[in-house]
Structure 1
Amino acid sequence: MKNFVDIVEEIKSIVSTEFNGKKIYDKDVADILGISQMNFATMKKRNKVPFGELLDFCALKSISINWLLYGQSPESLVAATNRFFMVKYFGQISASAGGGANADEEVSQMLEIPQEFVAMLGGERELKNIEAINVTGDSMEPTFSYNDIVFINRAKTDLARGGIFTIRTEAGLFIKRVQKRLDGRVDIISDNPVYAPQTLNPNEIEVIGRVISRFGSVD
Structure 2
Amino acid sequence: MDIYSIRKQQLISLIGNQKKGACAERWGMAPAHLSQILSDKTAKNLGDDVARRIETVEGLPRGWFDSLGATDKGVMPATAASQSSEDAPKSTAADLVKQMLAKVGGLSTAARDRIVAAAEEPDDGSSGLLPANFAALRPTNEEIVIRQYDIRAAMGHGQVPPDYTEVVRNLVVREEILREKGVSYTSKTALAMISGWGQSMEGTINDKDLVIVDKGVQDFIGDGIYVLTWHKDLYIKRVMRLDEENYRLISDNQHYENQTARIDDVTIHAKVLLIWNARKA
| Shared fold (TM-score, shorter chain, > 0.5) | yes
Alpha carbons 1:160, 1:180 under 8 Å: kept: no
Cα offset for 1:173?
Answer: 0.7
The residue correspondences of 1:50-89 to structure 2 (distance < 5 A) are 61=109, 63=111, 78=136, 81-82=139-140, 83-89=142-148
Bigger relative contact order, structure 1 or 2 (CA pairs below 8 A, ≥6 apart): 1
2:224 touches 2:240 (CA, 8 Å); kept in 1?
Answer: yes
Q: Among 202, 208, 214, which residue is 2:275 paired with? A: 214
The match for 1:193 is 254
> How far has the Cα of 1:98 moved from its partner?
1.1
Choose which of 136, 142, 155 in structure 1 pairs with 2:197.
136
Q: 3-state DSSP class of the match of 1:114?
A: strand
Partner of 1:112: 171
The residue type paired with residue 122 of structure 1 is: S
2:220 equivalent to 1:159? yes
Deviation at 1:128, TM superposition (A): 1.1
| TM-score in terms of structure 2 length | 0.47
Identity of aligned residues (%): 19
1:164 deviation in Å?
A: 0.5
Contact between 1:86 and 1:110, CA under 8 Å: does it hold in 2?
A: no
Superposed displacement of residue 130, structure 1: 1.1
User: C-alpha distance in 2, partners of 1:152/1:87?
Assistant: 10
Normalising by structure 1, what TM-score?
Answer: 0.59
Q: Which runs of 5+ in 1 are unaligned?
A: 1-57, 65-74
**Is 1:93–1:102's contact at 8 Å kept on the other side of the alignment?**
no
Q: Please state how far the C-alpha of 1:100 moved relative to its aligned partner.
A: 0.8
Q: Runs of 5+ in structure 2 lacking a partner?
A: 1-105, 113-132
Larger Rg computed on CA atoms: 2
Does the 8 Å contact 2:210/2:275 carry over to 1?
A: yes
Query: 1:98 is matched by which residue type in structure 2?
Result: G
Aligned twin of 2:233: 172
Q: Is the 8 A contact 1:211 1:218 kept in 2?
A: no
Segments ≥4 residues shifted beyond 6 Å: none
